[in-house]
Chains A and B, each alone.
Chain A
Amino acid sequence: DTGVSQDPRHKITKRGQNVTFRCDPISEHNRLYWYRQTLGQGPEFLTYFQNEAQLEKSRLLSDRFSAERPKGSFSTLEIQRTEQGDSAMYLCASSLVGGGSYEQYFGPGTRLTVT
């Protein structure tokens, strides 16, 4: 399967702990996006990368959130000092920009539960 993959699929952590999620995009895609989705809501844009460059991080929810894409391939999203309000589904998506297509391909998400 050559779709977007995310790991882990589920994460339960205690408040105050740090967590890191990984996303592997479709290999030929040059854009990678992170979203957060809470129950009953649509995905909320957090940040995105063009190759290894992070083009926007102003929508990251707080300075506890950070993302990297060190070699322009996989990406990680880290949440430090987790809070109960961080419990949500974290989605990664990728796309190929420049070929005239705009659709994004989403991974299955990482479900985070903070206890």
Chain B
Amino acid sequence: SQKIEQNSEALNIQEGKTATLTCNYTNYSPAYLQWYRQDPGRGPVFLLLIRENEKEKRKERLKVTFDTTLKQSLFHITASQPADSATYLCALDLGSNDYKLSFGAGTTVTVRA
């Protein structure tokens, strides 16, 4: 069956350090992978999209890698700040080229000042 797994443990890091989150998937062949941020009680907010033919994508302090052989994406927050504290969700298209998304359970990141 299809499965998307993110770091099961919450991540607690010191301000200024790099947070690295993992998204592994099985039985998908996604054309792209997206990362979203979700704050408590709010809807997810889009951060980055990486396509299957791209190895790495950057946006400000965020970096995403995508390895379709390993079926894994890594999401990095560099020079982390307390304002980065949130739950981060990875999402894959459901493979039928119709833009539907399947989400992982998310990883909660807490950045300590």
Contact = CB atoms under 8 A, between A and B. Distances in A.
Contacts of A44: 103
B43 A107 contact: yes
A103 B42 contact: no
B102 interface: yes
Nearest to A42: B103
A48 B101 CA distance: 11
B34 A103 contact: yes
Given A42-B89, A42-B106, A102-B49, A56 B100 contact: yes
Contacts of A105: 46
Q: Of residues B94, B99, B105, which shows the largest number of chain A Cβ atoms within 10 Å of its Cβ?
A: B99
Interface string B74-102: 00000000000000010101100011111
Given A33-B100, A45-B94, A103 B49 contact: yes
Given A42-B89, A45-B102, A56-B100, A106 B94 contact: no
B44 A106 contact: yes
B103 A43 contact: yes
B32 A102 contact: yes
A91 B45 CA distance: 12
A80 interface: no
Interface of B: 4, 32, 34, 36, 41-46, 49, 89, 91, 93-94, 98-106
Interface of A: 4, 31, 33, 40-45, 48, 55-56, 91, 93, 95, 97, 102-109, 111
5 contacts: A40-B105, A42-B105, A56-B100, A102-B34, A104-B46
